[in-house]
Amino acid sequence: MCSPQIIEAVRGEVSRRRALGLAGAAVAAGFASRLPGAAAQTATPVAAGGGGATIALGSYTQVQDLTHTITPETPVFPGYPQPEFETVRNFDEHGFYAQMLSYVEHTGTHMDAPAHFVEGLAFANELPVAQFLAPLAVIDISERAASDPDAQVMPDDVLAWESEHGALPAGVFVAMNSGWAARIDDPEAFINMGDDDALHFPGFHPDATALLVEERDVVGIGVDTLSLDYGAATSFDTHVILLGAGKYGLEGLAALDAVPAAGGLVIVGGPKFQNASGGPSRVMALY
C-alpha cells in the first residue's frame, strides 16, 4: 500500500504544453467553431480541420459526449442534497426563460480540484487550461465489475493497457470504464448501498493512482462512478494521492464504452467560479 498522502509540487509542464499548446492553437484558429452540436452520449462526425504536428485535430472523425445531464433525480453522494431547479423567468410573463439551480459542486459529471481534499492547493478555476485538452486512455474493467462491484483499477490493469497500446503518452488523462454509467437512470443501483451500510461501486486503487502520479505523466484520472475511490473505501487515499499532486479528477463520466481505449483526445469544460473545489463539467472525447 502506498503512503496515504503524497504532496508534491506541480511538475514542469514543458513537454505537455508543447503537445497540448499546438492543439489549443488549432482550436483557437477555428476548429471549435466547426464542431457540430453533439447529442448527449451520441457520437457525431467532426468536420476535418487543421491540426498540430503533435496532436493532429484533423485526424479525429468523431466527437463523443462523456457527460450525463443533471436532473432533479441525478444520483448524488449520500448526504448531499438532490439538485433543485426553479423557473424564475418564463416566456408568458417575461418574454424569456431562465432557471435558478441549486446543487452541490460535486454533482453529476463533475471535476474534483486539488483544493477539494488538500488545503492550500489549486481551486478548479486556477488550474491551467492546457490540462483540459489531453490524450485519453480508457482502462476497461467492466467485465470484472459486472460480477464484483468492489472492483478497482489496479497497477496490473495499467501495465496491461500499456502492454497492448504502448506507453501512456505524456500529459495523458486516464479514465476507468466499469460499465457503471448504464445505471445512471436507477439512482439506487448507481449508488449501490449494501446491507452492510457501505457503498459498492468501482474506483481506482491507491496503488494504481500512485503509479500514475509518480511514474507516469498524467493530468488527471476519471471514473464513471460517484467517486475516484471505490465505494467501500474507508478512507479517500486515491483522492489525496491524485489531488495532493496537483492533478484533477472527473467523476460520473458517461459513455466511456463508446470511445476507443487509446488514441483519443479528451476536452474538459471545467468549472470557473470563485474558490471552486470542483463543479459540473462538460466532457467530450475526440477519436
The catalytic site residues sit at 116
Hey, what amino acid is at 220? Answer: G
Sheet of 282-286, strand order: 44-45, 62-65, 282-286, 264-269, 133-140, 172-177, 218-222, 248-251, 110-112, 278-280
Alpha-carbon gap, residue 263 to 250, rounded angstroms: 19
| C-beta of residue 262 within 8 angstroms of C-beta of residue 137 | yes
Distance, in Å, from the CA atom of 133 to the CA atom of 135, rounded to the nearest integer, reads 7
Contacts of 67 (CB under 8 A, 6+ apart): 40, 108, 109, 253, 254, 281, 282, 283, 284
